[in-house]
Structure 1
Amino acid sequence: MARIITLTTDFGLTDEYVGVMKGVILTRAPAAAVIDLSHAIERQNIRQAAWLIKSAYRFFPEGTIHVVVVDPGVGSKRRLILLLADGHLFLAPDNGVLGLVLEPDCFQAAYELQCEHYYLTPVSSTFHGRDILAPVAAQLAAGLEPAAAGPAISRQTLEMVAKGAVKTDRGRGSITGEIIGRDHFGNLRTNIEADSLRKLYGKDASTARVSVKGKTIIGVQDAYDAEAPGEILAIIGSRGFLEIAVNRGDAARILDAVTGDTVTVDRSKT
């Protein structure tokens, strides 16, 4: 069966960057199936890419190779790494972009890329995605053993990315988290997990009161049309986290909310 390689970058699609990475991969591994996860990561937004790859990788078969190129430090002395976690392979700069898949129960191994004989030459100091990560991904798809990519490195030495603090007060029935980003529709993503809400409120979160940017929302809904068009609501998104949305509208714009804004959930007094 053909190996799957996913690509996640902040390159956009205006330039040739994504296309030439695919060309490099398919030249070396013509049977590979190359899947675009996203090329619309905000420029140099490591945290956004980290959340995306954490949320997406588990929907692919074990053995999938995930290439993540959000690399503000390209050309510097930062490491390029191969991470094995939860049965998947990840290639990326060691800048925290893989930090959210580094849970201890998922981590298997990590290697610093030092297999120069597989790189394109000469290596551009500004495009390691094309000259290093893409060819190594192709070699892995063609059967290269991960340990041949370079020396093993410990989990503790890898860069992490801030998930944002989530504080739970079971006595008061409250959770405080933050906005971690927005999607294409303007829905505001938080770092408050659905499981955390269920532990406090059970299956019925209609008594939950969600507060964000001075706005209070009563109840966590199951669908966007639980509120009238233009109304703000709280909902569990497809990633399994609490989101703030507007039915047929743009919550990020309407609330003027940004990454890092506080979101609080507690019990409604009504």
Structure 2
Amino acid sequence: MPIITLTTDFGEKDHFVGGVKGAIYSELEDVRIVDISHSISPFHLTEAAYIIQNAYKSFPQGSIHIIGIDSGLTPENKHVAVYLDGHYFICANNGIISMLASEIKPEKIVEINIHDRIESNFPVLDVFVKVACHIARGGTLEVIGKGIDTIKELTGIRPVVNPEASQIIGNVIYIDNYGNVVSNITRSLFDKIGKGRSYKIMARTATFTEVFNNYSDAINFDLPPEKREEDGKKLALWNSGEYLELAIYKSNPSTVGSASSLFGLEYRDTISVNFE
């Protein structure tokens, strides 16, 4: 049974998500539909790319991923279907695929050209669903589009290394539900540039000299509970996507605050690593 996932900025209030699911079931009754997220900030390509990048790898090979972010068809925002890392992605060619393809080259890209056969003012429901169901039936990409070699690049999402290789300057690319701050600095880049040197991570007034692999690694469980530094402890860690993340242990943005609020960090703000 084929799997089709949905990632959109539609939210849960309106009829859009239900309409897309209904259109899929009208085409294919024997299919599984999985919601990755419908709470992407409106038109926030970087946020969507980060979420999809960390979610799609958990799905079986051959899964089909519909991405409904900034999907209006214009001469500068064409629609594409991409075969990448054993998965199919259907979205606008607005740069979102460039983050997914930063380390893995797409095996096939087609610019979708079936629009003249479909009357549509809601491309995700009409065009993207038709393409997804075509692929789910075993159809090839060549039938629904013409092959292209390049995709639009999402600019400003890659960290910068200074000429002396003593500093990485990154940015906040995502703030999660707990208010944890995710940077675009990957563990592979950190290890490549750092080469085992000591370092200091700086984000506004917050500094860190150690990066943990798990949240709980920051807590000394050899101490009795009353002597541990737990709730409210600041920490840096490599998250499940191998990105550098700044967090507050067991934070609650609505009560005690979070890394974003307590460190004063928002999307695009600078996070730097200085090696000694």
1:221 Cα shift? 2.0
**1:1-270 mapped onto 2 (5 Å cutoff):** 2-71=1-70, 74-77=72-75, 78-103=77-102, 105-116=104-115, 119=118, 122-124=119-121, 127-155=122-150, 158-168=151-161, 173-199=166-192, 200=194, 202=196, 207-225=198-216, 226-227=218-219, 228-249=230-251, 250-267=258-275
1:101 Cα shift? 2.6
Partners of 2:245 and 2:265 in 1: CA distance: 12
3-state SS, counterpart of residue 6 of structure 1 = strand
Partners of 1:222 and 1:145 in 2: CA distance: 41
State the identity %.
27
Partners of 2:102 and 2:263 in 1: CA distance: 33
1:64-99: CA deviations, max 9, x gaps? Answer: 11110101x615332111111222111001111212
Q: Structure 2 length as normaliser, TM-score? A: 0.85
Partners of 1:170 and 1:195 in 2: CA distance: 18
**Gaps in structure 2 of 5+ consecutive residues:** 220-229, 252-257
1:117 Cα shift? 7.6
1:170 Cα shift? 9.1
3-state SS, counterpart of residue 98 of structure 1 = helix
Question: Closer, same or farther in 2 for the Cα pair 1:27/1:245, shift >3 Å?
Answer: same
Partners of 1:76 and 1:96 in 2: CA distance: 14
Partners of 2:115 and 2:123 in 1: CA distance: 12
1:116-143: CA deviations, max 9, x gaps? Answer: 4874xx412xx21111111221121122
Equivalent residue number for residue 227 of structure 2: none
1:27 Cα shift? 1.4
Partners of 2:64 and 2:117 in 1: CA distance: 16
**Gaps in structure 1 of 5+ consecutive residues:** none
Moved more, 62-71 or 169-178: 169-178
Question: Closer, same or farther in 2 for the Cα pair 1:241/1:9, shift >3 Å?
Answer: same
Q: Structure 1 length as normaliser, TM-score? A: 0.87
Report the residue type matching 1:264 in the other structure: S
1:223 Cα shift? 3.0
8 Å CA contact 1:201, 1:208 repeated in 2: no
Partners of 1:183 and 1:27 in 2: CA distance: 34
Partners of 2:103 and 2:273 in 1: CA distance: 28
3-state SS, counterpart of residue 6 of structure 2 = strand
Report the residue type matching 2:134 in the other structure: Q
Question: Closer, same or farther in 2 for the Cα pair 1:108/1:21, shift >3 Å?
Answer: same
1:198 Cα shift? 3.1
